[in-house]
Amino acid sequence: MPVERVWLDVPYAEKDAAKRGGARWDPAAKRWYAPRPGMAELARWAAAADVPELLPGEDRTLGDGLFVDLVPRTCWFTHVRSCVAQTDWERLRRMVTRRAGRRCEACGAGEDRETRRWLEVHERWTFDAAARVQILKRLICLCTDCHTVTHFGLAQVRGVEEQAFAHLVKVTGMSEPQAREHVRAAFDVWEDRSRYAWELDLGILTGAGIALAPPPGAGERAQAAASVPRQSPPPPARSGFPARKGGERA
């Protein structure tokens, strides 16, 4: 009878240390494991219980499909990965990709090492304008290409706007004029939301037993965002978007 594997929660940044300690990689499960029980060198990565596939209060219907979903400037530096311990982030990432069947939930693509297309976790937020609260409502699995479209401001700063625009058109079936209007409307919403400081509500994580690292306060985030050098990359001729200052950061 095969011995049940001793699974580990190893953050990506610590994979080399885990490997030196004797951990092995299961390419099918995409997870590290201890080859035998009781290996003291790997105790720090002992796996916690799996995160439930539906987080308490999560809305799995929110934000289906592919669309530009910009993070307000005053909400930079508050993505989930920066607010939880790295081992908990690994648990969340594993749950989100597993429940999506290891496929992008926007375009259906899987990982492709040759093209450097990976599966990544993206947050869907709602914004309570009256209370000025940014509320995490869903975690969604997106491939690198769709995630780049979602953060279109970062695509501009990184010089891949044309590729992101082409992927948006391909996946959504929009015409190029419709896609240009969609991006412009998303930036209008971004500019409006960026006028305000938002408090953070990560209740769907704490309800699942995820411990949070205190995120920067709204005022601190605004100061940090203001210190980031503004950039105005020239837009590619194909998409024809006006240059946007400051780009976007998750």
Burial (CB count within 10 angstroms: exposed 0-12, middle 13-18, buried 19+), residue 17: middle
pLDDT bracket for residue 221 (50, 70, 90): low
**Burial of residue 44, with CB atoms counted within 10 A of its CB: 0-12 exposed, 13-18 middle, 19 or more buried:** middle
What's the token pair of residue 24? Answer: 């092995």
Mean pLDDT of all residues in 56-85: 91
Residue with more model confidence, 12 or 236: 12
159-171: average pLDDT? 98
234 alpha carbon, distance to own chain's centre? 26
Percent of the chain past pLDDT 90, that is, above it, reads 72
Cα distances (Å, whole numbers) of residue 195 to 42, 129, 192, 220? 47, 11, 6, 15
State the pLDDT at residue 234: 35
The mean pLDDT of 24-28, rounded to a whole number, is 92
Q: What global pTM score does this model have?
A: 0.84
Report the pLDDT averaged over residues 227-240.
Answer: 41
Instruction: Tell me the mean pLDDT in the region 172-196.
Output: 97
Question: Could you say which DSSP state residue 109 is in?
Answer: -
Alpha-carbon distance of 250 to 247, in angstroms, equals 10
Q: Confidence class of residue 243 from pLDDT cuts 50, 70 and 90?
A: very low
Instruction: Give the Cα separation of 87 and 41 in Å (integer).
Output: 16
Query: CB 15: neighbour CB atoms within 10 A?
Result: 14
In which band, very low, low, confident or very high, does the pLDDT at 79 lie, cut at 50, 70 and 90?
confident
pLDDT averaged over the chain? 87
Give the HSE-up count for residue 157: Cα atoms under 13 Å, Cβ half-sphere.
Answer: 15
Distances (CA, A) of 206 to 6, 17, 170: 26, 29, 37
Q: What pLDDT shows up at residue 43? A: 95
**Of 177 and 2, more confident:** 177
